[in-house]
Structure 1
């Protein structure tokens, strides 16, 4: 539970039946990152959590100590602690209740122990770290930095690589014990398949294996868990010939404009190829003529000036005109839900 937010704690406790009987196999109920509707709680067992920790250790090169720089009531932060404790190390903790200060990484990393040192960040934290030379130098000394919670833009990934930071892009969710696909490759025991792929090879991502939750608390017949040991995501992805997964977007966030479908994440990736843009969210707003119109909300890169004209021009160079944002809003920061995902519902309410 988020200890600093009693209102949310009460909401989750009531919705997820805290204190009520539960299957003896379940050792953890962790809320998903969504903010609308009834909260869902993924139910995990010692077996699912152990499988996840073991698979992470195997991928990274062995057990080690971990630095916690994420809220511990979300699966990514909780897993940081569990992995460290499983390896026999007390996790070093940065208090992020009041926000993330990259300067805290310096002392935190210095206090870490273990044959290997690891941490986990969301993309917004990585951006702030790269803007701080001392924090960047400290982060360069760890053995791996897992980056997840939201997609890592290509330019941000390259900035981190150029700075010598050993990042690993992760994909996963509360329902899979957090990240279960690293740099597009499934961890040990995890299997990826695409349901109903289209002619371009894009389909709904389905994950299975020992890391998958038993299901949702108090939602026994949810369609995401129709098959035991398998989780049907809302993400759309593509597998290359080597089995490497690329996430294209989300099935539930597609924009229908003028009778055509636009995937927001495709537009975001193009806009984020412009070095003046640090963060971007694309969404559809109601439109009498088109049904929905495509709009972009962007955050300027440090020291850069971003303009509506430039964003639209960058999009027009690579995308069909239907996908080019009709409006561009420049903001200081994007609203977030969970540890790092953009809260599109909050953006839509604000802009509407």
Structure 2
């Protein structure tokens, strides 16, 4: 075992009725097993509240680190923070990864002591963040000011919708110069019709007789908090609860001896009919996530306990907190693995949820080009049964509609996430039209993968300004961003031919991939890495996809998770194995010239160096010929060349050793070469 000190510094002074905290002691311990696995736990101390001192902790840790075996049971209850740290470190080691749980834990929002204006502003922030239970620290302002403040808060937060808790930290038992007893203050709060859920520790701990009287007579339910610290034996605990008879208990594991000791308090509470909830003791994210994982397991097995908000919303208090493995949304604490992801428009974020989809659709500042995105989001979260409509791009015939099941669409998204190693929290950009499969699947990948997806208006030159992890582009869009390509980790190119002229300009330090797929396969079922100056490798299948060919060389695709079984394509390939192929061209483009088959795409690739100086679009196609049936022609989208230049061009092509004679164009024709909306050549 090793340890290190990590004092935590508050973002701003944390004031309670006890004192003001600017920083607090904290230690991280690391426990290793024989295989090298590690577990981390936290020792959290609160000066004036923890029963052990920082010096005592250091002394015990120095002894503990000399031992070969560490047992929680050997640590005395007089060192509860160390007991908690070792217990959670061992749980961390056994888990071998970050703390996680399913679903969200309902938590309260916390309002620290401040002036009235400052506390009201804190309430507004919590309400806007979706908290429904709000806890306020009280006891440092004059009582009449706090009473008026609570009235104002209740006006803002009606009892039908919001739960209010207050925490006096013993302040009502101290002489505040107002001549009021603790009971009189509780009665005044009750008479104000504030409908306060509970008050934590109205008087200082250790006054059992006075606390028992208060619990019996207070019109506001009392929750014991500091009262539990330092009570070690189960018999003492039971005696305390039977004497005081509180309505609630507040359990702070790192102050009362850890998780197992907290569970002993819970057993007693259930036996005596006392309700309870758990709060942090100002731990960093290390201790907080350990408590959250533990309590989530208890709540999952006890649905009747889930209505009470836990006090676990303290992760943002420190300037030097550890990296968070959690997030809070609408008053619930989630493990990072559950992050919903979001869609970002002009800097405004909308979570991937039903409510987020509706908010995005209703957003007044949303431009009209996002209408399709809004419809897709709302449909996705409101209708989980109906098939999803896709429209083909028209590159191989007239555009048509295709339906895919939701499960197939999700499978396609998951295949991409796995293949490209895209994790939750990925920063991505949607720059493609939502009307076609490439754009729609980018949105679905973001939803399924829990990305942060920025949307920008689709155009030939996308306005990419932020650093991102992943983007899908057409070759035309990619070329428009050169030479000052945005800062991005991975780029997926598709929807058009990736020519060498573009490939050789691609910047280093970015992963460029070329996808192969179609609407029928829910975008790419294969991809290959593209590197400037290197030959293109074969296309490799995504997970769950395999290939074969028909005798005529047509590619056959099997992707059963996407609902694709024995799909015969229009693509001619050289099959390497069931997961790899080299693309040659389209069968529908094949020219039958005198009984010999010519694949236009192959010819176009081989003549690219000769055509490059013309700097124009070109293609190879067949036209009717009485003798040959079809003859090979070169079509150029440029001004007509003079006869001498035409002859010279055809002779250069004919001189290529890699091009069989029957592949040579017999002539040149001129005209517009049309492309689809995503940049694919329309040969028909």
Asked whether the two chains share a fold, i.e. TM above 0.5, the reply is: yes
Residue 680 (structure 2) aligned to one of 336, 341, 347: 341
Residue 190 (structure 1) aligned to one of 531, 537, 545: 545
For 1:210-225, what aligned pairs fall within 5 Å after superposition? Answer: 210-213=560-563
Answer yes or no: is the 8 Å Cα contact 1:119–1:145 preserved in 2. Answer: yes
Answer yes or no: is the 8 Å Cα contact 2:396–2:682 preserved in 1. Answer: no
Residue 120 (structure 1) aligned to one of 465, 472, 481: 472
Answer yes or no: is the 8 Å Cα contact 1:65–1:87 preserved in 2. Answer: no
Q: CA distance change for structure 1 residues 259 and 239 in 2, over 3 Å: closer, same or farther?
A: closer
Are residue 146 (structure 1) and residue 496 (structure 2) matched? Answer: no
Answer yes or no: is the 8 Å Cα contact 1:284–1:292 preserved in 2. Answer: yes
Aligned to 1:254: 590
Shift of 1:76: 0.8
Answer yes or no: is the 8 Å Cα contact 2:422–2:449 preserved in 1. Answer: no
Q: Which consecutive aligned stretches of 4+ in structure 1 deviate over 4 angstroms post-superposition? A: 35-39
SS in 1 for 2:471: strand
Shift of 1:157: 2.6
Q: CA distance change for structure 1 residues 156 and 242 in 2, over 3 Å: closer, same or farther?
A: farther
Shift of 1:120: 1.1
Q: Deviations over 1:141-179 (max 9, x none)?
A: 21211111233234533332x544421011010011101
Q: Deviations over 1:319-339 (max 9, x none)?
A: 1222122334577x7411252
**Which consecutive residues of structure 2, in runs of 5 or more, have no partner in the other structure?**
1-367, 373-383, 529-538, 639-644
Residue 608 (structure 2) aligned to one of 268, 272, 275: 272
Q: CA distance change for structure 1 residues 38 and 342 in 2, over 3 Å: closer, same or farther?
A: closer
Q: CA distance change for structure 1 residues 328 and 166 in 2, over 3 Å: closer, same or farther?
A: farther
Q: CA distance change for structure 1 residues 252 and 313 in 2, over 3 Å: closer, same or farther?
A: same
Q: CA distance change for structure 1 residues 298 and 122 in 2, over 3 Å: closer, same or farther?
A: farther
Aligned to 1:32: 392
Residue 43 (structure 1) aligned to one of 400, 403, 423: 403
Q: Deviations over 1:250-295 (max 9, x none)?
A: 1111112233221111101112244435653221123344332322
* Rounded Cα–Cα distance in structure 1 between residues aligned with 2:637 and 2:509: 25
Greater CA drift, 176-185 or 83-92: 83-92
Answer yes or no: is the 8 Å Cα contact 1:30–1:75 preserved in 2. Answer: yes
SS in 1 for 2:592: strand
Answer yes or no: is the 8 Å Cα contact 1:74–1:338 preserved in 2. Answer: no
* Rounded Cα–Cα distance in structure 2 between residues aligned with 1:27 and 1:123: 30
**Which consecutive residues of structure 1, in runs of 5 or more, have no partner in the other structure?**
10-23, 198-202, 214-227, 301-306, 346-352
Q: CA distance change for structure 1 residues 164 and 36 in 2, over 3 Å: closer, same or farther?
A: closer
Are residue 238 (structure 1) and residue 574 (structure 2) matched? Answer: yes
Residue 432 (structure 2) aligned to one of 56, 67, 70: 70
| Greater Cα radius of gyration, structure 1 or 2 | 2
Q: CA distance change for structure 1 residues 192 and 257 in 2, over 3 Å: closer, same or farther?
A: same
Answer yes or no: is the 8 Å Cα contact 2:417–2:449 preserved in 1. Answer: no
Shift of 1:46: 1.8
Shift of 1:127: 2.8
* Rounded Cα–Cα distance in structure 2 between residues aligned with 1:181 and 1:338: 22
* Rounded Cα–Cα distance in structure 2 between residues aligned with 1:260 and 1:315: 17
Are residue 291 (structure 1) and residue 629 (structure 2) matched? Answer: yes
Residue 92 (structure 1) aligned to one of 454, 467, 471: 454
Greater CA drift, 291-300 or 228-237: 291-300
Alignment length (residue pairs)? 282
* Rounded Cα–Cα distance in structure 2 between residues aligned with 1:36 and 1:272: 23
Aligned to 2:86: none
Are residue 206 (structure 1) and residue 556 (structure 2) matched? Answer: yes
* Rounded Cα–Cα distance in structure 1 between residues aligned with 2:578 and 2:397: 38
Shift of 1:312: 5.3
* Rounded Cα–Cα distance in structure 1 between residues aligned with 2:681 and 2:568: 21
Q: CA distance change for structure 1 residues 36 and 169 in 2, over 3 Å: closer, same or farther?
A: closer
Aligned to 1:263: 599
- Structure number with the bigger relative contact order (C-alpha 8 A, sep ≥ 6) is 1
User: What TM-score do the two structures reach when normalised by structure 2?
Assistant: 0.38
Q: Deviations over 1:213-255 (max 9, x none)?
A: 5xxxxxxxxxxxxxx6332111111122584211111111111
Shift of 1:56: 0.8
* Rounded Cα–Cα distance in structure 2 between residues aligned with 1:81 and 1:297: 38
Answer yes or no: is the 8 Å Cα contact 2:496–2:679 preserved in 1. Answer: yes
Q: CA distance change for structure 1 residues 329 and 229 in 2, over 3 Å: closer, same or farther?
A: same
Shift of 1:211: 5.0
User: What TM-score do the two structures reach when normalised by structure 1?
Assistant: 0.70
Aligned to 1:229: 565
SS in 1 for 2:665: coil
Are residue 157 (structure 1) and residue 503 (structure 2) matched? Answer: yes
Q: Deviations over 1:5-49 (max 9, x none)?
A: xxxx9xxxxxxxxxxxxxx95421212222787643222112111
Shift of 1:340: 2.5
Greater CA drift, 73-82 or 121-130: 121-130
Are residue 83 (structure 1) and residue 420 (structure 2) matched? Answer: no
Answer yes or no: is the 8 Å Cα contact 1:171–1:178 preserved in 2. Answer: yes
SS in 1 for 2:496: coil
